[in-house]
Amino acid sequence: MIKTWISVLGMSLLGSLISLAQTKVVEFASLDEKKVGAPQQSAGVLVADDGIIAAVALKGFNPASASVKNAAGEVVKVKLVSHDPVSRLTLLQLPEGEREGMTKFTKYADTETLEPGAKLESNGELCRLVSFVRRHNGRVLPLTFMRVNHAGKAILPGSPVLNAKKELAGLIFQSSGDGSSYYTLPVDVLKHLQSLKATGGMFKPCWIGVSMDHLSDAPVVIGVRPSAPARVAGMMKGDVILSIGGKAVGSYPEVVNAFYYLQAAKPTDFKVIRGTEVKTFSVTPEVNPLYK
C-alpha cells in the first residue's frame, strides 16, 4: 500500500488539534513491543451517539492499544469496536466523560458527485480535490483513495475532510510526501465499516473467486475458481464486467474498488457482457480465505 510518511505528522500538532472540537487526539502504540518510539497519533472523529469515533491506525501500530488524554492530562484507554486491516480505519468507543464538546458527524457527502477541483475543508483550512487515486507506483490499490491538496499546516491521519455543505467527505489517511497533498479515505469506507458494525460483524475482505486481467483496458474475467461464488452463480471466463451492485465499472481498478465494498452472504448483482449478450448474475460473496 501507500508508503507511510508518519514523520511529517509529528507531535507538534497535538496542541492545535486539542483545541478543535471536531476531533480528539488518539494514540496507538507500536505492534512491536520491543520498539521504542513515539506512538502514532490520529484525529478521532465522533460519528455516533454512543461515543463511537473513527480514527486511522496506520500499518505497524496496534488498533487495540488506543488511548486518549483527559482534561487532567491522564491517559485513558479507549475500547476497540472494529478495525479494517485494508484501509486501517478503526472504530473506537470513547468513555462517556471524554465525549463532551465534540462535534458529531452524521451527514455524509456523496463522493460520486465530487470532481477534481472541488472545494473541500479540513481543520478549518481550504482543500481541493486533486483526483481519485486507484494506482500507486504502478500497483492497483485495494480501494480508491482521494488525493487532496491542503492549504494549511500538516494534518494528522483521521482528520475530517468536509465538502461545501459541511458534510463529511473523507478522513485523511497520510501525506503523499510533499507536505501539502494527502491521500484521503472516502467517507464510503466509514459507511461500509459502520454497516458491518450494525450487523454485528468485523471487517473481513470478501471475494467471489474470479481472476482478472489487470493489463486489459476492459474488466475481463480470465478465470473462475471451482465452487467459488462466481462459478456457482454462473459467471465464466471471458465475461466482461459492466456493473457491480448497480454501479458501473469500466476498468480493473474500478472492479477492485467495488470488490472492497462487498459483504459476505449479501447477494450482489453482477452485469456482464458474454459474447454479444448482456447477462446479470446474483453472486453471494464469501469472506476471502486469507482472512478466515
Eight-class DSSP state of 157:
T
Beta bridge partners of 139: 136
- For the chain, what percent of residues have pLDDT higher than 70? 92
Between CA 215 and CA 72 the distance in angstroms is 56
Average pLDDT in the chain: 90
- Judge whether 134 and 257 are in contact, CB under 8 Å: yes
Q: Which domains does the chain have, with CATH numbers?
A: 6-98 (2.40.10.10), 111-198 (2.40.10.10), 206-291 (2.30.42.10)
Higher-confidence residue of 34 and 166: namely 166
With contact defined as beta carbons under 8 Å apart, do 115 and 128 qualify? Answer: no
Query: Between 100 and 254, where is the model more confident?
Result: 254
Give the span between the Cα atoms of 167 and 210, in whole angstroms.
36
Instruction: Read off the pTM.
Output: 0.89
The confidence score (pLDDT) of residue 154 equals: 84
Query: Taking every pair of C-alpha atoms in the chain, what is the biggest distance, in angstroms?
Result: 69
Contact 171, 188 (CB under 8 A): no
- pLDDT, residue 37, reads 77
Q: Which residues of 225-259 are buried (b: 16+ CB within 10 A; e: fewer)?
A: eeebbbbbbbbeeebbbbebbeeebebbbbbbbbb
Q: Are the CB atoms for 93 and 79 separated by under 8 Å?
A: yes
pLDDT tens column, 245-279:
999 999 999 999 999 999 999 999 999 999 999 99
Q: Cα–chain-centroid distance for residue 122?
A: 17
pLDDT tens column, 163-209: 999 999 999 999 998 778 999 999 999 999 999 877 777 788 999 99
Check whether 10 has a pLDDT greater than 60: no
Of 175, 163, 160, the C-alpha closest to 54 is 160
SS3 65: helix
pLDDT at 216: 85
Using only C-alpha atoms, the chain has a radius of gyration, in whole angstroms, of 20
17 pLDDT more than 60: no
Distance CA 116, CA 252 (A): 21
Give the SS3 label for residue 155.
coil
Per-residue pLDDT band at 21 (split at 50, 70, 90): low
Q: How far is CA 1 from CA 57, 139, 201, in A?
A: 14, 9, 24
